Amino acid sequence: MRLRQNNLLMLRKLTVVALGMFAFGYALIPIYKHICEMTGINILALGEKELPGSGNARLSKADNSQVDTSRTITVEFDANARGPWQFKPMQSSVQVHPGQLMSVMYEFQNVQDRSMSAQAIPSYAPSEASAHFNKMECFCFNQYTLAPGEKKQWPVVFVIDPKLSKSVNTITLSYTFFEVGSKTPAAPGSKVSAVSVSGEGV
Amino acid sequence: MSAVLDPHGHGAADHGHDDHHGAPHGWRRWVYATNHKDIGTLYLLFAFTMFIIGGVLALLIRAELFQPGLQLVNPELFNQFTTMHGLIMVFGAIMPAFVGFANWMIPLQIGASDMAFARMNNFSFWLMIPAALMLAGSFFMPGGAPATGWTIYAPLTLQMGPSMDASILALHLLGASSIMGSINIIVTILNMRAPGMTLMKMPMFVWTWLITAYLLIAVMPVLAGAITMVLTDRHFGTTFFNPAGGGDPVMFQHIFWFFGHPEVYIMILPAFGIISQIVPAFSRKRLFGYASMVYATSSIAILSFIVWAHHMYTTGMPVTGQLFFMYATMLISVPTGVKVFNWIATMWKGSMSFETPMLFAVGFIFVFTMGGFTGLILSMAPIDLQLQDGYYVVAHFHYVLVAGSLFTMFAGYYYWSPKWTGVMYNETRGKIHFWWTLISFNVTFFPMHFLGLAGMPRRYADYPMQFADFNAWASFGAFAFGFAQVYFFFFIVLPTMRGQGEKAAQRPWEAAEGLEWEVPSPAPFHTFENPPKLNADANRIVA
Amino acid sequence: MMNNIYKKLETASLALAAYGATAAWAVNDLPGGPAVNQLNLHPPVTKIAEQQVWLHWFMLIICTVIFVAVFGVMFYSIFKHRKSLGHKPATFHESVKVEIAWTVVPFIIVILMALPATKAVVASKDTSNADLTIKATGYQWKWGYDYIKGEGEGIGFISSLDEKQRAMSDSGKPEPTDDYLLKVDNPMVVPVGKKIRIITTSNDVIHSFAVNSFGIKQDAIPGFVRDTWFRAEKTGDFRGQCQELCGKEHAYMPIHVKVVSAEEYTAWVADQNKKMAAKQDDPNKVWTLAELTAKGSKVYEANCQSCHQATGQGMGPIKGLDGAAVVLDADSSKQINVLLNGQNNLTMPAWKQLSDTEIAAVISYTKNNWSNKTGQLVQPAEVRAARQ
């Protein structure tokens, strides 16, 4: 009898623990968000998802910073088209001071005979530059749908935070333009395509 | 007949119970096995089979690399060989073999009648069979086996055929098996030690397995997470590792190596434990510095969690990251060095004899330390820029895994097989096996250091001709090494399993300590059914 | 038993000697590449590589000294402290003083080793103030080089393994060749003594760009850019290979960096610019079939042959071109589209980096080679129109 009672108690405790672990799994999503914000790890996503506009903390921070004329940073622009479309920067590089607002254009053309949706993903070299490269406006914030043959020019407006480490004075900003829903291409000449490379959205 | 095959072997300490328990016979004995000795035997035989399969793959690789040019296989199949050789050896040979040793020896060494969860133990073993069939059988799936290297980096894994999914399932099963086994080991060690055996009086093999089991529980789920993310990226529209959807291929490497680095310590810590039993026995002297051996092993285990990115120095980490991981990795050499010094101090002024277990143990200390030094050299990020993904790395990890883990398993086999089988192995043949293995091992892997320094990359089916001579040596050595292991099985192991050999004493090694030597050879099917009364040092039974 | 072993060893050594005597692989050292039976790192051509070579010697010497000392002690013990010599075992089994000593001393040694290493790490990461920036893009299975800043800006080309060497590998009996699997059609050319920043990225899976003589290695990650740098102090031809498993042809995408004097570099840039302009050439020039097929045959050999084979039969899942409907079709737009944009989810890659003339030439070649005798041809102007 004692044994049965003990077992029931144990069962109850274990059920609570199991439910708790399950709930913890769900709670991980907001927990991760908070931890990343607190520690500042989540640099890339934060920069991209923020929309320009008033009340935006990052934007106002940049407004308040002075232009640091003692430093000149060379920003190089790179473009990678991951697919059959044309994509290039209109300028290959600019010289800019930290705190100075700068705008450059990228050109994109859908040379196919079908319309497509595309998303640009940015990347920075050296990687420590990404934390201090504030994009006020960028075509990488949104997806775009282009008709066949359509050509577009888009701006990137950015300001470099003066807090950027003194050892960095060249930054390469690179975009790769992916078709929405595209996956890793199959290896050339491969027999099996286990993953479909769909053209339309997922 | 040895106890390995005959459950009714009568020993002095336990007898008479078997008959009215209805000790199992025939296929049921093995399929429904709950006896730790039987399960240990199953694990060891399974591991040896996988070792041979993985070894054949290695020989196919070395046969292709014997000369420049593609003589035997196309590069895609070659990559499948390298991948499956790695996966089978790591998950099918090394890890199960150590679990086999754990199953056989831990209950004996702590004076317990069996493992805590005998039926879960059975499940842990039998889970591995379908997993192994899937891994080995993946060659016959459309597109062949995965060809990504055992490290299965994304996004290359996203290009693989259905065998990638089968391998992911196999790894899940093996992971589950390991986690259940580890739970079993921890509970057994913490709860079922004979009275008087405090933690600091346990044999070192038990200590190293206790620590290893915690490592396993901590990191196998991480691997499970990584491979599940690969699976969903492949089939369910997620983009964890696909930059098009905001993902990052390097994140896979972080997650994989967070598992992968403790994994390599999982593969070596039990080996350290076995050596810590054998060296004192054959030096006729107590292990030097027992307490610091325990602390050193724990430090290695804890440090192993913070060094993973030394596998990723070339991925583009910022300077601070490279420096941190470099310092942490260099730090691990300190407790490892302490262990080596302690073993040598155990030998110092002892009274040594060099039967085969001791030969392998001393061989291990010598050759594993070489592997340790090349690891220290690789940990230096600037040097790693020259050597990453080349043959120096291949040389390093084969020195620590083959000359490390595998030699220890041979040592453990020679040391404990009299207890398992009741007969002594043939000492002359054991010595032949040792020297043949040691020499061919070095002929195979030493030249790879030079190949790596000269820049030969790994996972290459063909190579510039300046590398030809060293590759030829390595291939020659590999075949010699392979034949040595075939010799081992047919001329040493099989005879003892059949009971052919001199009858083994209860304590065949005069200075061997541990409760396993307090039971007859072969160990009866059931041992320590009642907890034994122990002496003050907890290594002898007092009547 | 022992006689048996000696006999086996004898036979084996004789076999090996015989093999060695045939010296089938009588190649020479490759300057800037591997030396025959090379034992150490490549001779350094940059200050960073010099630091790496120094660091390696430093570590090797320290480790060897420690190794000899420790195992000297162990082997001494093995020889002297044996039961067979009657040595009786001592009983000591711990000593706190000794344990602390051999924990603290290695700890200090490790810290001393870390100091020069730290300096080298920091130096190798400083990519600022480069004279020239080149992007190296990894493809399955070749490299693309784009000069994105500095003298030569705008130059871009693909660098692939020499086709003949790839075929030699398949044959299983490659002729002794000093630069086997290290020869490319278009090497990267850089000026000596200038700081070159290399940006790496990839078009598909992870590759890795490495040149051992420069001491650089940087993974090329799809969707991301990474950077590294070098300043070559000597002119010459320097080699590397892809250093991250990237699929079946991983061993067949070498790197060749040609370091030349400043004047030679300027001349090369001018030449490249002329070639690029020529590729744009007269958009309305009308080519004859003979001119096109002659050029097309070279384009085919350099780009298509490895998959579609010299026989045009293809192999396995790779479609043959000999007798293929899309090739024989009088409406060339389909074939032009396949070449510009790829097919089957890029199992057939896109070739839009080839010029209009090259694409027109290779299409015309396929239409008039093997058993295909269509007499059709495609002008570069058609290809140019298809790109719009």
Instruction: State pLDDT tens for residues C106-161.
Output: 999 999 999 999 999 998 888 888 999 999 999 999 999 999 999 999 999 999 99
B382 touching A (Cβ < 8 Å): no
Contacts 24+ apart (CB under 8 A), B481-488: B481/B437, B481/B440, B481/B441, B481/B444, B482/B55, B482/B56, B482/B58, B482/B59, B484/B433, B484/B436, B484/B437, B484/B440, B485/B51, B485/B52, B485/B55, B485/B437, B487/B429, B487/B432, B487/B433, B487/B436, B488/B410, B488/B433, B488/B437
SS3 C234: coil
* Local confidence band at B288 (pLDDT 50, 70, 90 cut-offs): very high
- Positive or negative, the Cα torsion across B170, B172, B173, B177? positive
Mean pLDDT over the full length of chain B? 94
B239 near B245, Cβ under 8 Å? yes
Burial group, residue B490, by CB count within 10 angstroms (0-12, 13-18, 19+):
exposed
* Local confidence band at B153 (pLDDT 50, 70, 90 cut-offs): very high
Residue B68, pLDDT > 60, answer yes
Predicted pLDDT of residue B441: 98
B265 assigned to active site: yes
Which tens digits make up the pLDDT trace of C74-88? 999 999 999 999 999
Residue B335, pLDDT > 80, answer yes
Residue in chain C nearest B78 by alpha carbon? C248
C57 near C65, Cβ under 8 Å? no
What ipTM, to 2 d.p.?
0.91
B124 assigned to active site: no
Q: Best of B366, B386, B389, B491 to disrupt the C interface by mutation (most C CBs within 10 Å)?
A: B386
**Stretch B348-376: mean pLDDT, rounded?**
97
Integer Cα distance of B273 and B281 in angstroms: 13
Predicted pLDDT of residue B11: 43
SS3 A13: helix
The candidate with the shortest Cα–Cα distance to B330, out of C42, C54, C63, is: C63
Q: Which of B14, B64, B114, B384 is catalytic?
A: B114
Predicted pLDDT of residue A185: 79
Q: Identify residue C358 by its one-letter amino acid code.
A: E
Q: Which residues contact B212 (CB under 8 A, 6 or more apart)?
A: B98, B182, B265, B266, B269, B270, B301
Tokens of C367: 């239409």
B236 touching A (Cβ < 8 Å): no
Q: Best of B76, B383, B471 to disrupt the C interface by mutation (most C CBs within 10 Å)?
A: B383
Query: What is residue B422's DSSP assignment?
Result: S
Predicted pLDDT of residue A188: 81
* Local confidence band at C197 (pLDDT 50, 70, 90 cut-offs): very high
Q: Which of B37, B172, B193, B261 is catalytic?
A: B261
B292 assigned to active site: no
State the number of CA atoms in the 13 A half-sphere of C134 facing the CB: 25
Which tens digits make up the pLDDT trace of A116-161? 888 898 999 888 888 888 888 888 888 889 888 888 899 999 999 8
Neighbours of C192 (CB within 10 A): 17
Which tens digits make up the pLDDT trace of B15-25? 444 444 566 88
B138 versus C317: which is more confidently predicted? B138
Q: Between B158, B243, B318, which is nearest A195 by CB?
A: B158
Taking the CA of residue C259 and the nearest CA in chain A, the distance in Å comes to: 23
Predicted pLDDT of residue C4: 60
The lowest-confidence range among A150-159, B47-56, B173-182, B253-262 is: A150-159
Neighbours of chain B (3+ CB pairs under 8 A): A, C
Sequential DSSP letters for B10-25: --SSS-SHHHHHT---
A191 versus B62: which is more confidently predicted? B62
Q: Does the beta-carbon distance from B351 to C82 stay under 8 Å?
A: yes
Q: Which residues of chain A have pLDDT under 70?
A: 39-65, 190-202
Predicted pLDDT of residue A191: 55
Q: What percent of chain C has pLDDT over 90?
A: 66
Taking the CA of residue C117 and the nearest CA in chain A, the distance in Å comes to: 19
**Stretch C218-241: mean pLDDT, rounded?**
96
Tokens of A123: 């990347």
Q: Best of A43, A48, A71, A76 to disrupt the C interface by mutation (most C CBs within 10 Å)?
A: A76
C131 touching A (Cβ < 8 Å): no
Integer Cα distance of B413 and B357 in angstroms: 8
Q: Does the beta-carbon distance from A179 to B242 stay under 8 Å?
A: no
Taking the CA of residue C370 and the nearest CA in chain B, the distance in Å comes to: 26
Residue in chain B nearest A118 by alpha carbon? B244
Chain C residues touching A93 at Cβ < 8 A: 148-149
Residues B279-297 as b/e (b if ≥16 CB within 10 A, e otherwise) read: bbbbbbbbbbbbebbbebb
Q: Does the beta-carbon distance from B338 to C176 stay under 8 Å?
A: no
| Strand ordering across the sheet containing A133-138 | A86-89, A101-109, A151-160, A133-138
A77 near A89, Cβ under 8 Å? yes
* Local confidence band at C354 (pLDDT 50, 70, 90 cut-offs): confident
Predicted pLDDT of residue B377: 97
The candidate with the shortest Cα–Cα distance to B259, out of B313, B298, B309, is: B309
**Stretch B294-322: mean pLDDT, rounded?**
94
B261 assigned to active site: yes
Query: What is residue C131's DSSP assignment?
Result: S
Predicted pLDDT of residue B66: 96
CB pairs under 8 A between B and C: 313
Integer Cα distance of B211 and B518 in angstroms: 25
The values of phi and psi at residue C148, to 5°, are -100, -10
Mean pLDDT over the full length of chain C? 90
C176 versus A183: which is more confidently predicted? C176
Q: Which of B265, B399, B416, B420 is catalytic?
A: B265
Q: Best of B77, B139, B148, B159 to disrupt the A interface by mutation (most A CBs within 10 Å)?
A: B159
Integer Cα distance of B251 and B388 in angstroms: 19
A167 touching C (Cβ < 8 Å): yes
Look at the block and give the residue holding tokens 């934007």: A59
Q: Between B286, B377, B469, which is nearest C63 by CB?
A: B377
B420 assigned to active site: no
Residue C343, pLDDT > 50, answer yes
